[in-house]
Amino acid sequence: MKVFENIWAAAVERLSEQISKQAMDLWIRPIVPVSYVDFCAVLLVESPFQRDIIMSKYKDDISAVLTEIVGFDMSINVITPEEQTTSTPVKHTDAPKVKIENLVEPIYPEYTFNTFVVGESNKHAYAACSAVAKNPAKAYNPLFIYGNTGLGKTHLLKAIRNEIAINFPSYKTIYITGEEFTNELIENIRNKTMPEFKNKYRSIDVLFVDDIQFIANKDSTQEEFFHTFNALYEANKQIVLASDRPPRDIALLENRLRSRFEMGIITDIYLPEYELKVAIIKQKATTYGLDLPDDVVDFIAMKIKNNIRQIEGVLKKIMAFQLISNLPPSISVASSAVKDITSENEPTPVVFDKVLKEISREFDVSEEDILSKKRMEAITYARQIAMYVMREVTDLSLPEIGQTFNGRDHSTVHHAIHKIEERVKTNPALKARIDSVIKNVKEL
């Protein structure tokens, strides 16, 4: 059951990001994977006490991670040696020895420089991140990385944090997304705990902010981040930012922030070349214990065009199929996996939900308001853009698009699309924002 053992190893890595180091060492890492039977993972522990703790405290977490990895619902059954039957043989091995390190911040096992495959499209970003990891605040500060969704920005940010945690264990670091920073700020304002918030972010050594474009058009967040940025920069602390676009193209970002983002080095990750995709597929397949024929590797590399993250999804689907059928990977299996992962064949409701989500995020209007009959300017504007995007990402007719927006008339849709078409001709910033939305919808 080599495939099942690899799935369990991947699950342990995921769980280490959710569960404390002490709990992982005590309860999760000693678990031995036994077998996979009828969508259920059979796991072995030493005693009934361990079994009861895992089933009461960690059952849902383990099941959720396994389900995420294989792509279908999986339950778990934890047994002890006394409960083990001859139908579920187990290879008795010692629990893995875990090296205990006094790290200030947790490590992300999946995101290291060693597991990042370097190619022409990302080599400059990789080099800049490596330099920052070796010499925080001395190489490039701030470091700004941009590129489409799923090309490896988050991997690089977390790889830097891993290296710093190992090489500079006394350093305090924070990794957060632009949305999380905004939500945390709102919560502290509401609770009147802003001094604690300011101290948290201004007393660290390295700040990582992913999806920094999220703070655009949010005045209070931009104000607070401006002062946080200044405090860290003036104290010679490292700042690493990632976005889906360069600072100049982040619409509704204050000029004073834009200028600060451009103070250091800006590097991009662009769409991967064929050779890089092949290398990534082969590396991840090895990680999952999959023996992929060259024609299957080639097929996946040709079909996955824009989002490297989708490669992982495809391989998980193939791995799940092999786990169930015990048949070797083939192009027909890969083709089915690609169709499941990419949005090209997704039903309209799924695409529509993605459009609403992206428009809501980008233009700061709730999904409920977009679908409502409210006529406030900001809401109407977002609704018109959503209709325009639906026309761009689907083959629906105008009446069909109108139906998805709670039965609006096709003339309303025509007016909305025409109005946005005229605006993008004279507004490059708006065009960039809409292009970003379209890319995200296609790549989610």
Confidence of residue 359 (pLDDT cuts 50, 70, 90): very high
Please give the average per-residue pLDDT across 313-317, as a whole number. Answer: 86
Separation of alpha carbons 397 and 61, rounded Å = 43
User: Cis peptide leading into 142, omega within 30 of 0?
Assistant: yes
DSSP assignments along 323-335, one per residue: HHH-PPP-HHHHH
Res 207: pLDDT: 97
Q: Which CATH architecture has domain 2-79?
A: 2-Layer Sandwich (3.30)
Please give the average per-residue pLDDT across 208-231, as a whole number. Answer: 93
Res 86: pLDDT: 42
Res 347: pLDDT: 56
Res 101: pLDDT: 37
pLDDT digits (tens, 9 = 90+) for 86-124: 444 444 333 333 333 333 333 566 788 988 999 999 999
Res 304: pLDDT: 85
- For domain 348-443, the CATH class is mainly alpha
Q: Which residue has the higher pLDDT, 9 or 144?
A: 144
Please give the average per-residue pLDDT across 204-233, as a whole number. Answer: 93
Three-state DSSP state, 240 = strand
β-bridge mates for residue 146, sequence order? 243, 268
> What is the b/e burial string over 297-329, where b = at least 16 CB atoms within 10 angstroms of the residue's CB?
bbbbbebbebbbbbbbbbbbbbbbbbbeeeeeb
| Residue tagged 């001094």 (tokens) | 195
Separation of alpha carbons 436 and 444, rounded Å = 12
Q: Which CATH architecture has domain 123-269?
A: 3-Layer(aba) Sandwich (3.40)
Domains 2-79 and 123-269 are alike in CATH topology: no
pLDDT digits (tens, 9 = 90+) for 159-180: 999 999 888 989 999 999 998 9
Three-state DSSP state, 33 = strand
User: Closest Cα to residue 296, out of 258, 337, 260?
Assistant: 337
β-bridge mates for residue 145, sequence order? 242, 267
Q: What is the mean pLDDT of the chain?
A: 85
Q: Which amino acid is at 210?
A: D
Separation of alpha carbons 419 and 417, rounded Å = 5
| Residue tagged 């090209």 (tokens) | 344
Res 85: pLDDT: 52
Confidence of residue 194 (pLDDT cuts 50, 70, 90): very high
pLDDT digits (tens, 9 = 90+) for 41-91: 889 988 888 888 898 889 988 988 888 887 778 889 999 887 765 444 444
pLDDT at 128 over 90: yes
pLDDT at 346 over 70: no
Cβ-based neighbour number of residue 138 at 10 Å: 11
Give residue limits of the domains in the chain: 2-79, 123-269, 274-341, 348-443
Pairing of the two strands 75-79 and 40-44:
parallel
pLDDT at 305 over 80: no
Res 47: pLDDT: 82
Dmax over CA atoms of the chain, in Å, equals 74
For 274-341, CATH number out of 1.10.3720.10, 1.10.8.60, 3.40.50.510, 3.40.50.620 equals: 1.10.8.60
412 in Cβ contact with 398 (< 8 Å) = no
Three-state DSSP state, 43 = strand
Separation of alpha carbons 417 and 402, rounded Å = 11
Res 22: pLDDT: 77
Confidence of residue 442 (pLDDT cuts 50, 70, 90): confident
Angle between helices 59-70 and 2-15 (to 10 degrees): 120
Quick one: what percent of the chain has pLDDT higher than 90? 42
